[in-house]
């Protein structure tokens, strides 16, 4: 690849959505650089991408890592507060990144947000996304804001995969509330295409990235149940009890399965777009094509993002591929579902 080939930066090119954006850019002949919190973690794109660590501690170094860059694709964010990782820190780090891009002469920022963000939202995730959008608008760099709904598909799928895993492994699955609220999932490849297309805009742009299907959440879970060929009952739970069940399952799999704020956002219908869909891949179509493999192992968010570095030659622990133990946390979660089943 020529040194004159345009360079794009994708934050988190070794993570979920970032890896699909990076691969799309590489396949189109672009050079790709990434900023990441885990520069030493192995990934299939590592040999094709220039890798820099985030330098939020050094604004000059952060700007230097963005020099010569045409477009910055920003996927940087956090799903929940954990240890020193927080929404407040993520907002400030995003602001630093945007102004470093301005200092480095980046031409455009394509930023991944979320559908229906609001500065007035009581939910830190959606409020934080709105604050980051505001910081981007104040940065002085041309921007395209892409607001995805619920992302699915690809080898690092979390939500759809873990729903299938629960249905395969546990005696029942719980839903927050009635399950009648709507979702509109978008495939990660559609999201990557939408982001790359958005970089070609000549003006500032704000668009939703949503798939072609809108369905009730309980219907989506029922589709997954049929796909994985189980008869597990789907049990509606009050939101507070659902959060307790999610915490119990989290103890079993050593993960944060679903936060109370995520329950609230889901039930409020915030993962639905009000614009014509730009996604082409239907969730039902993807599920039918991947029914043999979806949910075979558990996708652990804490292991992906917060696991300590492994010593060389030692493989990370893969608790996801074994059946859950009958330990105390698993017993509590299973008992909670059974009690609800027999009421």
Each residue's pLDDT tens digit, 86-145: 999 999 999 999 999 999 999 999 999 999 999 999 999 999 999 999 999 999 999 999
Q: What is the pLDDT of residue 41?
A: 83
Does one domain contain both 103 and 233? no
Does one domain contain both 118 and 174? no
Verdict on whether the full-model pTM lies above 0.95? no
> Is 332 contained in some domain?
yes
Question: What is the tally of helices (H) and strands (E) in the chain?
Answer: 12, 13
> Is 328 contained in some domain?
yes
Does one domain contain both 113 and 172? no
Does one domain contain both 274 and 296? yes
> Is 200 contained in some domain?
no
Question: Which tokens hold the place of 274?
Answer: 């009000």
Cα-Cα end-to-end distance for the chain: 65
Task: Report the alpha-carbon distance of residue 262 to residue 41 in Å, rounded.
Answer: 28
> Is 38 contained in some domain?
yes
Does one domain contain both 166 and 116? no
Last-in-domain residue among 125, 148, 171: 148
Specify whether the backbone of 105 is left (phi greater than 0), alpha (psi in -120 to 50) or beta: left
> Is 324 contained in some domain?
yes
Does one domain contain both 74 and 173? no
pLDDT band, residue 308 (cuts 50/70/90) = low
Does one domain contain both 112 and 165? no
Does one domain contain both 59 and 173? no
When mean pLDDT is compared across 171-185, 211-225, 311-325, the lowest value belongs to 311-325
Q: How many domains does the chain have?
A: 2
Q: What domain range includes position 218?
A: 159-181+213-341
CATH number at residue 33: 3.40.50.720
CB 319 within 8 A of CB 254: yes
Does one domain contain both 278 and 165? yes
Does one domain contain both 173 and 288? yes
pLDDT digits (tens, 9 = 90+) for 33-60: 999 998 888 899 999 999 999 999 999 9
Length of the chain as a residue count: 343
pLDDT band, residue 6 (cuts 50/70/90) = confident
> Is 134 contained in some domain?
yes
pLDDT digits (tens, 9 = 90+) for 256-293: 999 999 999 999 999 999 999 999 999 999 999 999 99
Task: Report the alpha-carbon distance of residue 260 to residue 325 in Å, rounded.
Answer: 25
pLDDT digits (tens, 9 = 90+) for 227-262: 999 999 999 999 999 999 999 999 999 999 999 999
Does one domain contain both 34 and 115? yes
Does one domain contain both 269 and 298? yes
CA 234 to chain centre: 24
> Is 287 contained in some domain?
yes
Is the pLDDT reported for residue 196 higher than 60?
yes
> Is 313 contained in some domain?
yes
């Amino acid at each position: 690849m020529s040194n004159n080939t345009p360079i794009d930066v994708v934050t988190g090119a070794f993570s979920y959505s970032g890896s699909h954006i990076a691969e799309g850019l590489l396949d189109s002949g672009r050079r790709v650089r990434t900023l990441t919190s885990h520069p030493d973690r192995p990934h299939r794109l590592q040999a094709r991408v220039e890798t820099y660590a985030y330098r939020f501690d050094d604004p000059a170094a952060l700007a230097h890592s963005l020099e010569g860059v045409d477009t910055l694709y920003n996927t940087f964010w956090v799903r929940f507060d954990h240890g020193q990782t927080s929404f407040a820190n993520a907002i400030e780090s995003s602001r630093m990144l945007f102004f470093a891009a301005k200092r480095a002469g980046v031409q455009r920022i394509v930023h991944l947000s979320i559908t229906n963000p609001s500065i007035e939202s009581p939910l830190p995730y959606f409020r934080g996304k709105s604050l980051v959008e505001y910081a981007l608008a104040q940065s002085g760099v041309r921007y395209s804001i892409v607001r995805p709904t619920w992302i699915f598909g690809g080898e690092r799928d979390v939500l759809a995969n873990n729903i299938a895993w629960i249905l395969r492994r546990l005696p029942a699955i719980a839903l927050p509330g009635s399950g009648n609220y709507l979702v509109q999932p978008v495939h990660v490849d559609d999201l990557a295409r939408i982001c790359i297309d958005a970089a070609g805009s000549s003006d500032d742009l704000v668009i939703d990235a949503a798939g072609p299907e809108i369905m009730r959440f309980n219907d989506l879970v029922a589709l997954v149940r049929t796909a994985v060929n189980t008869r597990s009952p789907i049990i509606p739970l009050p939101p507070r009890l659902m959060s307790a069940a999610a915490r119990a399952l989290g103890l079993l799999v050593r993960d944060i399965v679903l936060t109370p704020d995520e329950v609230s956002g889901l039930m409020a219908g915030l993962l639905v777009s009000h614009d014509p869909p730009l996604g082409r891949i239907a969730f039902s179509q993807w599920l039918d094509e991947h029914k043999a493999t979806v949910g075979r192992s558990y996708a652990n968010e804490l292991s992906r993002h917060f696991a300590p570095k492994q010593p060389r030659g030692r493989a990370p622990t893969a608790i996801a591929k074994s059946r859950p133990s009958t330990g105390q946390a698993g017993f509590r979660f299973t008992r909670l579902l059974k009690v609800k089943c027999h009421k």
